[in-house]
């Protein structure tokens, strides 16, 4: 059985992502057993499943009530990666982003909204699981030492019906991500930008904890067109 970590924390005004969960049914990682990561002596059905329907047991249960999850009725789509999932919205609770679904993308309400450029940078987070399949897994190719993004500059992304084009990607240590100016700096002035955050898993990693985040930056399509025309 494969443990999988993540938690997203706000620190000095910034938020970064890391997730802690176990996908039941996968092989053991580095000899560790489920009991070292889950308090229950046997895995219990948390009601959370990944996109394959595999049970996911989070070590840090999400604060569903605090997150106040709402369906947007729209989708998060990365067509070149074959990703098309529901888009919900949620609040950051206690400085932590812990999406309460492993099959959905989440728009963070404390940041900008795609349909309102004046509201600032839009931030979407999603789980990636080790030994399973969640939305974040579509964005990278997992390898022992050099997992890399498969979403690239020029790729289209659709968030709640608003089109964006990827401009760059970045792999960053989760601690460094906390205070990254590239990620969080002047976010209220970046209304035509989108930032997508997930954990970057590596096959055969010696620890169940993903050390890095994969961050994807994108720009609103009409804004890019306007800049070119000018």
CATH of the domain at 100: 2.40.260.10
What total of structural domains would you count in the chain? 1
Q: How many CA atoms lie within 13 A of 184 on its CB side?
A: 15
User: What's the confidence (pLDDT) of residue 3?
Assistant: 32
Is pTM beyond 0.75? Reply is yes
Under 8 Å between Cβ of 114 and 105? no
Q: How far apart are CA 105 and CA 88, in angstroms?
A: 6
Instruction: Give me the DSSP letters along 96-134.
Output: EE--S-BS-EEEETTSBBTTBGGG--EEEE----TTS--
Q: How far apart are CA 112 and CA 121, in angstroms?
A: 5
Tens of pLDDT, residue by residue over 39-52, are: 233 444 557 889 99
Query: What would the two tokens of residue 99 be?
Result: 């999406």
User: What's the confidence (pLDDT) of residue 205?
Assistant: 60
- Identify the domain containing residue 216 by its residue range: 2-229
Segments of the chain with pLDDT less than 70? 1-46, 58-60, 144-145, 204-209, 223-230
Under 8 Å between Cβ of 222 and 162? no
């Amino acid at each position: 059985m494969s443990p999988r970590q993540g938690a997203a924390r706000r620190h000095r005004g910034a938020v970064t992502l890391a997730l802690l969960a176990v996908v039941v049914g996968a092989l053991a990682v580095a000899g560790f057993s489920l009991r070292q990561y889950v308090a229950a002596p046997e895995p219990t059905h948390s009601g959370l499943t990944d996109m394959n329907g595999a049970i996911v047991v989070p070590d840090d249960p999400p604060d569903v009530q605090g997150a106040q999850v709402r369906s947007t009725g729209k989708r998060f789509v990365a067509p070149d990666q074959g990703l098309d999932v529901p888009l919900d919205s949620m609040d950051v609770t206690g400085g932590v982003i812990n999406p309460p679904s492993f099959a959905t993308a989440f728009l963070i309400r404390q940041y900008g909204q795609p349909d309102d450029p004046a509201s600032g940078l839009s931030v979407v987070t999603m789980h990636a699981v080790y030994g399973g399949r969640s939305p974040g897994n579509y964005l990278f190719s997992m390898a022992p030492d050099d997992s890399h993004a498969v979403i690239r500059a020029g790729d289209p992304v659709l968030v709640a019906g608003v089109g964006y084009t990827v401009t760059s990607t970045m792999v960053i240590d989760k601690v460094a991500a906390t205070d990254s100016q590239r990620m969080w700096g002047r976010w209220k002035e970046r209304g035509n930008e989108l930032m997508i955050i997930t954990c970057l898993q590596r096959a055969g990693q010696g620890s169940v904890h993903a050390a890095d985040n994969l961050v994807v930056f994108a720009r609103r399509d009409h804004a890019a067109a306007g800049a070119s025309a000018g």
